[in-house]
């Protein structure tokens, strides 16, 4: 009784049409499936359970009972118009962002423009840089470069370096790229914010780093949130591995921020004070104020969770509230209204230990986990034995691949040619909070012949030579991005 979407190739779909409609070998020659236009079938169910295609006036032909949703060419024209809008309209935002977020982002852009316009010489310099940089900083990817410009190198030969790391027993942990919510300092939680331009660039960069270090991902685990799914897609695209299985679970969702969802962190800090703010934002056992049963931020009002979140028990209280409100019996599941980090870990860690970890250890696979900050903080607390009293100190940068070697039980960063040789300075490049000493510790191993167990390793997995597609390009300044938006250019560095 479900509605399913099948996305495939022309002849694969023609084969399905032949099977569903019983099209003859001779007639199937005349059946064509245009690109990008949905062909929809509805079915009648007979008492014996058999399904028979339902024919309507909109059916394609005498042979095909399905119906196209629009006239041929309209869908493609709409997509081309949207792409042209993104290219030409200054500051255009993706329509998946909520109106309030789009408005806030526009106001932020205007504020920065006013500041920039107040200093003519600064504005002139930014405009000049904009004219010099015709192409986005991060768009010169290896896939678009001539073959002779791509430097393909093997990692440095060392048991403690990527050659051994990339083989198997590795978990790549990746926080999604930046969103407009991140940029504006809003509590996001389960709100389905999409990636900002900077986040798209970060996700692509993560895939490039994995490719440069020779990683082959066997499976991807991600949440039900678009920002994590999009990040996984973009990283896999750089690895030429979009075919790799992607397993989605709500149990890898971000921590549920309850009534704080969508609110400004600065405003909450100012209203409630630093102590309460820190407890709500980073506390291990403290939950923020709960969302109400009928709040737009409560996942119990989101169709995806109502229909498909089926692995938690029913809630008597929530069922009673919704039954009284609707005047009929409604069974509602116990979907979180607010979570502490511990609550978040109570769903993420069992999923990790039951589903992800066995795949790595028993099947010797390398997996990518693309998720959100608090889900990752909990996972690293589990993997790195971080005590609960210090977990509040841990910060996770967006779009940065963290590689956990299961065999040697240590976490490492991937070299891109920009890290200092000094371990402390290398770690200082990113904001890991004040607990980097707990995240990046010496490797340990039960194997007496393992060289990595006998040394204090570099926190960075170094490359002997940096490929051309990872060569550093200076990240654009705020001025550059403001002027770039106004001139229709996309600066995606960082």
Question: What are 374-432's pLDDT values in tens digits?
Answer: 999 999 999 999 999 999 999 999 999 999 988 888 999 999 988 988 888 999 999 99
**CB atoms inside a 10 Å sphere around CB 250:** 20
Q: What sign has the CA pseudo-torsion 70, 72, 73, 76? A: positive
| pLDDT reported for residue 146 | 33
Nearest to 73 by CA among 30, 41, 36: 36
Cα 220 to Cα 370: distance, rounded to the nearest angstrom = 7
What φ, ψ does residue 221 adopt, rounded to 5°?
A: -120, 130
Provide the β-strand partners of residue 39: 68
Cα separations (Å) of 131 from 134, 144, 146, 227, 487?
Answer: 6, 22, 24, 31, 9
Output the six-digit token pair for 483.
Answer: 């002027």
- Catalytic residue among 180, 254, 318, 490, which? 254
Each residue's pLDDT tens digit, 354-374: 999 988 888 888 899 999 999
Burial (Cβ within 10 Å: 0-12, 13-18, ≥19) of residue 98: middle
Cα 454 to Cα 451: distance, rounded to the nearest angstrom = 6
Strands 246-248 and 219-222: parallel
Output the six-digit token pair for 404.
Answer: 């956990």
C-alpha 221, offset from chain centre: 10
Which helix (H) or strand (E) segment holds residue 45: the answer is strand 43-45
Which helix (H) or strand (E) segment holds residue 373: the answer is helix 373-383
Output the six-digit token pair for 352.
Answer: 């990790």
Note if 63 is an active site residue.
no
DSSP tag of 170 = E
| pLDDT reported for residue 130 | 61
Q: DSSP strand E in 422-485: where?
A: 460-461
Tens of pLDDT along the chain (494 residues) come to 788 999 999 899 989 999 999 999 988 888 888 777 888 999 988 888 888 888 877 777 788 888 888 766 665 676 566 566 656 554 444 555 566 666 677 677 667 777 777 777 777 777 776 665 543 333 323 223 333 333 333 333 344 554 445 446 789 999 999 999 999 999 999 999 999 999 999 999 999 999 999 998 999 999 999 999 999 999 999 999 999 999 999 999 999 999 999 999 999 999 999 999 999 999 899 999 999 999 999 999 999 999 999 999 999 999 999 999 999 999 999 999 999 999 999 999 999 999 999 888 888 888 999 999 999 999 999 999 999 999 999 999 999 999 998 888 899 999 998 898 888 899 999 999 998 999 998 887 666 555 555 455 688 988 888 888 886 544 455 555 555 555 544 433 33
Cα 328 to Cα 321: distance, rounded to the nearest angstrom = 11
Cα 475 to Cα 492: distance, rounded to the nearest angstrom = 8
Provide the β-strand partners of residue 402: 173
Q: DSSP strand E in 271-395: where?
A: 367-371
C-alpha 352, offset from chain centre: 18
- Is the separation of the CB atoms in 209 and 414 below 8 Å? yes
Cα 39 to Cα 53: distance, rounded to the nearest angstrom = 13
Question: What residue has token string 């440095």?
Answer: 156
Cα 482 to Cα 491: distance, rounded to the nearest angstrom = 9
Output the six-digit token pair for 308.
Answer: 């498909």
Helix (H, G, I), strand (E, B) or coil at 245: coil
Note if 254 is an active site residue.
yes
C-alpha 91, offset from chain centre: 22
**CB atoms inside a 10 Å sphere around CB 191:** 22
| pLDDT reported for residue 152 | 31
**CB atoms inside a 10 Å sphere around CB 456:** 9
**Rounded to 5 degrees, what angle do the CA atoms 89, 476, 416 make?**
125
Cα 279 to Cα 288: distance, rounded to the nearest angstrom = 8
Cα 436 to Cα 424: distance, rounded to the nearest angstrom = 9
- Diameter over CA atoms, the chain: 79
- Is the separation of the CB atoms in 356 and 379 below 8 Å? no
Helix (H, G, I), strand (E, B) or coil at 219: strand
Helix (H, G, I), strand (E, B) or coil at 343: helix
């Amino acid at each position: 009784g479900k509605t399913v979407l099948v996305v495939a190739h022309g002849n694969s779909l023609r084969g399905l049409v032949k099977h569903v409609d019983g099209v003859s070998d001779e007639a199937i020659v005349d059946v064509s499936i245009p690109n990008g236009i949905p062909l929809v079938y509805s079915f009648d169910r007979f008492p014996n359970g058999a399904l028979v295609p339902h024919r309507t006036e909109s059916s394609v032909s005498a042979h095909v009972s399905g119906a196209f949703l629009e006239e041929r060419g309209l869908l493609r024209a709409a997509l081309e118009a949207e792409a042209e809008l993104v290219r030409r309209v200054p500051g255009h935002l993706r329509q998946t962002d909520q109106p309030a977020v789009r408005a806030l982002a526009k106001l932020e852009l205007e504020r920065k423009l006013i500041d920039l316009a107040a200093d003519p010489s600064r504005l002139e310099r930014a405009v000049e840089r904009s004219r010099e940089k015709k192409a986005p900083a991060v768009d010169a990817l290896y896939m678009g470069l001539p073959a002779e410009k791509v430097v393909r190198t093997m990692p440095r030969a060392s048991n403690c370096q990527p050659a051994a790391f990339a083989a198997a027993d590795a978990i790549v942990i990746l926080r999604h790229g930046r969103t407009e919510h991140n940029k504006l300092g809003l509590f996001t939680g389960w709100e389905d914010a999409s990636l900002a331009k900077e986040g798209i660039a970060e996700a692509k960069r993560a895939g490039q780093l994995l490719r440069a270090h020779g990683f082959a991902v066997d499976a991807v685990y991600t949440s039900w949130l678009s920002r994590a799914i999009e990040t996984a897609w973009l990283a896999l695209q750089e690895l030429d591995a979009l075919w790799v299985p992607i397993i989605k679970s709500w149990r890898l969702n971000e921590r549920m921020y309850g009534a704080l969802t969508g609110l400004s962190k600065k405003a909450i800090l100012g209203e409630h004070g630093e102590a309460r703010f820190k407890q709500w934002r980073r506390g291990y056992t403290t939950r923020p104020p709960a969302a109400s049963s009928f709040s737009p931020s409560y996942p119990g009002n989101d169709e995806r969770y109502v229909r498909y979140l089926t692995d938690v028990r029913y809630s008597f209280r929530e069922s009673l509230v919704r039954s009284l409100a609707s005047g009929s019996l409604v069974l509602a599941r116990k979907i979180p209204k607010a979570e502490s980090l511990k609550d978040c870990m109570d769903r993420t860690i069992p999923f990790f230990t039951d589903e992800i970890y066995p795949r790595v250890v028993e099947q010797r696979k390398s997996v990518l986990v693309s998720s959100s900050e608090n889900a990752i903080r909990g996972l690293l607390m589990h993997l790195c034995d971080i005590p609960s009293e210090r977990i509040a100190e841990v910060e996770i940068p967006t779009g940065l691949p963290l590689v956990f070697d299961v065999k040697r039980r240590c976490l490492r960063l991937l070299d891109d040619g920009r890290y200092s040789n000094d371990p402390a300075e290398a770690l200082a490049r990113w904001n890991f909070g004040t607990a980097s000493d707990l995240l990046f510790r010496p490797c340990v191993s039960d194997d007496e012949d393992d060289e990595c167990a006998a040394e204090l390793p570099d926190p960075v997995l170094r490359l002997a030579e940096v490929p051309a597609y990872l060569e550093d390009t200076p990240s654009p300044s705020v001025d550059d991005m403001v002027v770039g938006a106004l001139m229709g250019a996309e600066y995606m560095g960082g």
